[in-house]
Chain A
Amino acid sequence: MSEWETVIGLEIHAQLATRSKIFSGSPTAYGAPPNTQADLVDLGYPGVLPVLNGEVVRMVVKLGLAINARIAPLSVFARKNYFYPDLPKGYQISQYELPIVAQGSLDIVLEDGQVKRVGITRAHLEEDAGKSLHEGLPGMTGIDLNRAGTPLVEIVSEPDMRSAKEAVAYMKKVHTLVRYLEICDGNMQEGSFRCDANVSVRPAGTAKFGTRAEIKNLNSFRFVERAINFEVARQIELLESGRPVVQETRLYDPDKGETRSMRSKEEANDYRYFPDPDLLPVKVDAELIASVRTTLPELPDQKAARFSTQYGLSAYDAGVLTASRELAEYYEEVVRTAPGDRKLAANWVMGDLAAALNKEGLEVSSGKIPAARLGELLRRIQDATISGKIAKEVFELMWSQGLSADAVIESKGLRQITDSAAIERAIEEVMAKNPAQLAEYRAGKDKLFGFFVGQVMKATGGKANPAQLNELLRGKLRG
């Protein structure tokens, strides 16, 4: 059979990190008891009207600037009409024909190191719906409208991605970006960042898109990858057995690892979009754009490029260290404290620190070793107070006991032995205890050298300076 090419476009929904909702004054904080953060506007009471939260506009303009998009001087809110119990007004206020942000792009790095540009068709503002609750309510449906009216930006990509891995790389890039811009907390468990994936396949080399399926509401990078891979396999199997792919909306079941049909195109709602007469067109003038521009931070790509040149890091390391602003800031502080070896700092941050954070599920900001402390530890490696191996032990104690590097080194007596006389004494004792091995070595069995290194290290509690030990031991063994 022929080769198949996968075509993927993502619609990412990111919750904007405002304190109040997009069209009402209710707070947006997560996790409050049901319906305690919904006012009359959120409840869609008779007579109430929406008023746009200006902060939401500033945030989406910030995003538009960061993806080099066109910011519409005039954009329009439209009503998307459909009935659902958690949609209080019977319509969702969104943007349809005239979105506020259009024609942007983001670069992603592929596995082979190539850079790929992904087009962003549009980014528009909309309000979130509420939630239907079923647990503990037999025979009934509960409605929680705390989330209703939460501001969302929907970021719609071009169908530019060709594999699940590319889709994940793009989604991660957007995730990084919105957190850099501080417009979204990126919390995927709480639903602050989620996506719908449009997936189709076509014979490789053809220009026409295949029929697509839309997989709804994917809220983890892992699910995105798995759902797309499942869907691609499903579509290829259909096509190869001569059956058509049906245009439809599908849901991913993470427990079963499969996608399931939700509704077909024929069953799709006719949303009857029309401009919302309760809201004026959103005006964004040059002055607003200029004022938002001044709030733009150094963006992930700019930061990674700077890390490469300023710290001499590989593109890969620079990419990992700039994946979040917090991690990048952490790394830079480590380097400021221990300026000697930037690669050493990078290895520690990406290695031991990342592993420790990962193990306990912590963010870099809530880790147990502040950057300056990690820097001090690295300084002790650089000034030969301890060896790299001992440093790992020190790190663990710093982490578990919240101590500084020096405090751990002193209290545990881990200071490296650099006194030649002391090392020589230890070597002599080992030689005296192992006459047989000494004789064999001197008879030409060179590989016993390692045995003697190990014995001396054991005798010094691992604290002998390795370079010194090697040199002294070689001399002594020669006799």
Chain B
Amino acid sequence: MGALHTRTLTQLAEGLRRKSFSSVELVGELLARIEKSQPALNAFISVTAPEALAVARAADRTLAAGAGGALTGVPIAHKDIFCTEGVRTSCGSRMLDNFVSPYDATVVAKLKRAGAIMLGKTNMDEFAMGSSNETSFYGPVRNPWNPKLVPGGSSGGSAAAVAARLVPGATATDTGGSIRQPAALCGITGMKPTYGRVSRYGMVAFASSLDQGGTLTASAADAALMLREMAGFDPRDSTSVDTPVPDYVAALEQPIAGLKVGLLAEFFDKGLDEDNERCVREALRVFEGLGASVTQVSLPNLPMSVPVYYVVAPAEASSNLARYDGVRFGHRCENPRDLSDMYRRSRGEGFGAEVKRRIMTGTYVLSAGYYDAYYLKAQRVRALINADFIRAFAAVDVLIGPTTPTPAFPLGAKTADPITMYLNDIYTIGANLAGLPAISVPCGFVQGLPVGLQIVGPHFSEARVLAAAHAFQRVTDWHTRVPVGYT
């Protein structure tokens, strides 16, 4: 057979149902690609080859019987932040290097039920804290378009794996841009749903009020198929929302003529690379060509999103990461002298520098005497940003702008100065603070590197956002391009 990796997730699901090829063949081919890519990309932390092949054999039997779910036999990868029963769930950290989860995250269980097969767990920034995948305990992931460059983060492993066609789709999480930014830097499609659309149960928490699971795929159509199987109310997550999941796949073909597109004025700031801006503006002309109307929209409080985020997210993280104390699971230092020594050394050894920086920042902003000045004020500004978005969506259907200020940057370029690294999320953080669905799709190339276009919609407008992205992808081919060496 061969070359199955060139097909999209949607095509693979269809081909398996038609029995054009077997799941065992497909899984075998992709496992070989993963193994071969690993020294160059380091996209995976764990590969579960024997288990995957066993499930593939069972899937083939199911398919032979004419049964199965929407994704039966389709291989995927999970970001190593999702708990997977019986498989190490490291979250990119030494702290959880020895942690084998006793249960499946809801997302993992749902995709299993839909028939998807996990090939392994993808590399990521430690505890999802990073924008370059350089904070991983397991070493950086490299960008398939140029191994000297970062793939973005924190879902860098998932993005690189999909971009290099090692898997047709991967789960990911987005707290401040961790799906969209690596999607943009790797030239693929990254979908972050509305906060509460996808269950957080079993997703190792970074910043609970911002974290949201989503997808990394080659196309919006693939994202629609995967998200349809992942989304939905979960009684085990109090913040998941009990509202029906539309058939995103069926909604893809809705026409976008008459779609009111808002151009986000604040995103076209002086930090935006000229070439990136050119690609985004060309994309807007494509939307106009499809019958959409484009108007400029201003969200005056949006420029405060980075400082707000870097108060709220570390505050929640400092509390969420307190459970890693060496008592019940995870890393415990050798021969602790006493309780305090065990805490200090277990956490000191288990966490990397960026995680420690955020725990300290978060602890500081929640401290007595500083809470009002930082945490409370940040929450107030967050409410203002939210109100800005709501006002904007009274006038337009979707907001469009760049995903990132620049294309992928070299490894090490921003590690010395955390602020420059944080500014890479300047365009993506707003959607997290307001809990909005947002997608990044490839919209051009600058010096051989992909550029991302971001589409943000009102709460629970995933179907419309996906349809807009799909309409764009029907008339463009940026998303079909594959890096040299991985075709």
- B425 is an interface residue with CB less than 8 A from chain A: no
Binds A, one of B39-47, B116-124, B147-155, B232-240: B232-240
Interface mask (B287-304 → A, CB under 8 Å = 1, otherwise 0): 000000000000000000
Question: Could you say which of B203, B319, B371 contacts A79, with CB atoms under 8 Å apart?
Answer: B319
Binds A, one of B361-369, B395-403, B408-416: B361-369
Question: Could you say which of B91, B319, B325 contacts A46, with CB atoms under 8 Å apart?
Answer: B91
Q: Are B368 and A270 in contact (CB under 8 A)?
A: yes
Q: How far is the CA of A89 from the CA of B320 in the complex (A)?
A: 8
- Chain B contacts with A in 306-326, Cβ cutoff 8 A: 315-316, 318-319, 321-323, 325
Question: Could you say which of B91, B204, B319 contacts A81, with CB atoms under 8 Å apart?
Answer: B319
- Chain B contacts with A in 84-137, Cβ cutoff 8 A: 89, 91, 96, 99, 101-103, 105
Q: How far is the CA of A196 from the CA of B363 in the complex (A)?
A: 28
Q: Are B322 and A83 in contact (CB under 8 A)?
A: yes
- Report B-chain residues with C-beta under 8 Å of the C-beta of A46: 83, 89, 91, 96, 99, 101, 204-205, 323, 329-330
- B201 is an interface residue with CB less than 8 A from chain A: yes
- Chain A contacts with B in 94-149, Cβ cutoff 8 A: 141, 143
Q: How far is the CA of A203 from the CA of B218 in the complex (A)?
A: 78
Q: How far is the CA of A50 from the CA of B235 in the complex (A)?
A: 10
Q: Are B238 and A47 in contact (CB under 8 A)?
A: no
- B54 is an interface residue with CB less than 8 A from chain A: no
Q: A409 to chain B: closest CB distance in Å?
A: 63
- A49 is an interface residue with CB less than 8 A from chain B: yes
Question: Could you say which of A45, A50, A88, A273 contacts B238, with CB atoms under 8 Å apart?
Answer: A50
Q: Are A91 and B239 in contact (CB under 8 A)?
A: no
- Report B-chain residues with C-beta under 8 Å of the C-beta of A44: 323, 328
Residue of A nearest to B203 (CB): A47
Q: How far is the CA of A272 from the CA of B316 in the complex (A)?
A: 11
- How many residues belonging to B are interface residues under a CB distance threshold of 8 Å? 44
Q: How far is the CA of A141 from the CA of B342 in the complex (A)?
A: 13
Interface mask (A177-214 → B, CB under 8 Å = 1, otherwise 0): 00000000000000000000000000000000000000
- Report B-chain residues with C-beta under 8 Å of the C-beta of A48: 201-202
Q: Are B366 and A274 in contact (CB under 8 A)?
A: yes
- A279 is an interface residue with CB less than 8 A from chain B: yes
Q: How far is the CA of A46 from the CA of B328 in the complex (A)?
A: 11
- Report A-chain residues with C-beta under 8 Å of the C-beta of B368: 270, 272
- Chain A contacts with B in 268-295, Cβ cutoff 8 A: 270, 272-274, 277-280
- A34 is an interface residue with CB less than 8 A from chain B: no
Check A43/B328 contact, CB under 8 A, given A48-B201, A49-B237, A278-B238.
yes
Q: B237 to chain A: closest CB distance in Å?
A: 5
Q: B71 to chain A: closest CB distance in Å?
A: 22
- Report A-chain residues with C-beta under 8 Å of the C-beta of B316: 274, 277
Q: A286 to chain B: closest CB distance in Å?
A: 22
- A448 is an interface residue with CB less than 8 A from chain B: no
Q: A390 to chain B: closest CB distance in Å?
A: 65
Q: Are B323 and A274 in contact (CB under 8 A)?
A: no
- B327 is an interface residue with CB less than 8 A from chain A: yes
Q: Are B329 and A45 in contact (CB under 8 A)?
A: yes
Q: A98 to chain B: closest CB distance in Å?
A: 14
The A-B contact count (CB < 8 A) is: 101
Check A83/B343 contact, CB under 8 A, given A44-B323, A277-B208.
yes
- Report B-chain residues with C-beta under 8 Å of the C-beta of A391: none
- Report B-chain residues with C-beta under 8 Å of the C-beta of A79: 319
Q: Chain A binding site: helix, strand, loop or mixed by DSSP? A: loop
- Chain B contacts with A in 414-456, Cβ cutoff 8 A: none
- B228 is an interface residue with CB less than 8 A from chain A: no
- Chain B contacts with A in 230-248, Cβ cutoff 8 A: 235-239
Q: How far is the CA of A153 from the CA of B96 in the complex (A)?
A: 35
- Report A-chain residues with C-beta under 8 Å of the C-beta of B322: 81, 83, 89-91
Question: Could you say which of B315, B323, B371 contacts A90, with CB atoms under 8 Å apart?
Answer: B323
Listed residue (B105, B201, B323) with the most chain A CB atoms within 10 angstroms of its CB: B323
Q: Are B96 and A51 in contact (CB under 8 A)?
A: no
Residue of B nearest to A77 (CB): B238
Listed residue (B96, B205, B235, B328) with the most chain A CB atoms within 10 angstroms of its CB: B328
Q: Are A83 and B325 in contact (CB under 8 A)?
A: yes
Q: How far is the CA of A44 from the CA of B275 in the complex (A)?
A: 47
Check A274/B315 contact, CB under 8 A, given A40-B103, A47-B202.
yes
Q: Are A89 and B323 in contact (CB under 8 A)?
A: yes
Q: Are A49 and B319 in contact (CB under 8 A)?
A: no
Q: Are A47 and B105 in contact (CB under 8 A)?
A: yes
Residue of B nearest to A278 (CB): B208
Check A51/B236 contact, CB under 8 A, given A89-B323, A90-B325, A277-B209.
yes
Residue of B nearest to A38 (CB): B328
- B375 is an interface residue with CB less than 8 A from chain A: yes
- B339 is an interface residue with CB less than 8 A from chain A: yes
Interface mask (B356-386 → A, CB under 8 Å = 1, otherwise 0): 0000000100111001000100000000000
Residue of B nearest to A268 (CB): B368
- B17 is an interface residue with CB less than 8 A from chain A: no
- Report A-chain residues with C-beta under 8 Å of the C-beta of B105: 47
- A85 is an interface residue with CB less than 8 A from chain B: yes
Q: How far is the CA of A79 from the CA of B238 in the complex (A)?
A: 16
Q: How far is the CA of A44 from the CA of B99 in the complex (A)?
A: 14
Measuring CB to CB, which residues of chain B are less than 8 angstroms from any residue of chain A?
82-83, 89, 91, 96, 99, 101-103, 105, 200-205, 207-209, 235-239, 315-316, 318-319, 321-323, 325, 327-330, 339, 343, 363, 366-368, 371, 375
Known: A40-B102, A47-B105. 13 other contacts (CB 8 A): A45-B101, A46-B96, A51-B235, A51-B237, A52-B238, A81-B322, A85-B339, A143-B327, A272-B367, A272-B371, A274-B366, A277-B239, A279-B239
30 A-B residue contacts at CB 8 Å?
A: A40-B102, A40-B103, A43-B328, A45-B101, A45-B102, A46-B83, A46-B101, A46-B205, A46-B329, A47-B202, A47-B203, A48-B202, A49-B200, A49-B238, A50-B238, A51-B235, A51-B236, A51-B237, A51-B238, A52-B238, A83-B322, A85-B325, A88-B328, A141-B339, A143-B328, A272-B318, A272-B319, A273-B366, A277-B207, A278-B239
